[in-house]
Amino acid sequence: MLLREVDYAKPSSVAEALALLAGNDGARALAGGQTLLNVMKARAASPDMLVDLDGLDELKGVELSADGTLTIGAMTTYAEILDSAEARARPILGEVCAQIADVQVRNRGTIGGNLCSNDPTNHLPPLMAAIGARMTIAGARGERTVAAGEFFLGVYMTAAGPGELLTRITVPPGRHDGFAAVTLGVDGTCIVNAAASLDGSFRVAVGCVDAVPVVVEAESTGAVRAAVHGAGLDPPSDVHASREYRLHLAEVLAERAALQAEGRS
């Protein structure tokens, strides 16, 4: 389907992008376009102006600090994370990016777009919640940094509100992580996914079962299934899976992710 007519701007700085977004209620940031253009074609979104972030080098790249902290620009693509020597400091990042869709989506889709769309079936929101990533948001009143728990607010809703941009993601050091998913076919949309991180105890985030990743804590791999069971999940039924099957997968995949995380200890 053809797009409805839309204005297009390609700012040369984050400040200019923020001014465009703040000055036009109908403006939307355009990252890789892998979600936004599809929802525009489906007429589920109809922005008046696209503010293309592609030219903003200040939003791109992966930096590794001496203490192992990673800083990832919001416009860094999955393929760039996969290719980044720095990103290998937290190996799960590349491993999960490699599982997202196909080469075309991985070449265009960005970490920032994935997190800002907060589609409950996306791979990265639960991963960021499990590994304790922090999101930096820029707006007219400057910058603020929020944890995943404050960033993901609902389906397609995040703390990056109108007139604001997610600029970078900060990932603390660590290697003991796991991720497991059941998808529709190979590399397809997730039916349920789970990410786990071990740092003394487990932090496990389950995706596709609620509007935002559901985070539980567990002292051991043996306690993970009970922790997920105790979270009182109420996932939806749809053409892909029943509520009961998703509940079952949530426990199985959380345990699998935790076992992977523990296997790296």
Binding residues for ligand FAD (CB under 6 A): 28-36, 38, 53, 74, 100-101, 105, 108-110, 112-114, 116-117, 119, 122-124, 160, 165-166, 189
Distance in Å, CB of 232 to ligand FAD, minimum:
25
Q: Would you say 137 or 254 has its CB closer to ligand FAD?
A: 137
Q: Which residue type, as a one-letter code, is found at position 183?
A: T
Q: Would you say 60 or 203 has its CB closer to ligand FAD?
A: 60
**C-beta separation of 37 from 155 below 8 A:** no
Distance in Å, CB of 117 to ligand FAD, minimum:
4
Distance, CA of 62 to CA of 238 (rounded, Å)? 38
Q: Would you say 59 or 218 has its CB closer to ligand FAD?
A: 59
Q: Would you say 63 or 199 has its CB closer to ligand FAD?
A: 63
Q: Would you say 117 or 221 has its CB closer to ligand FAD?
A: 117
Residues in the chain: 265
Distance in Å, CB of 183 to ligand FAD, minimum:
7
CB-neighbour burial class of residue 1 (10 A; exposed 0-12, middle 13-18, buried 19+)? exposed
Q: Would you say 93 or 227 has its CB closer to ligand FAD?
A: 93
Q: Would you say 167 or 221 has its CB closer to ligand FAD?
A: 167
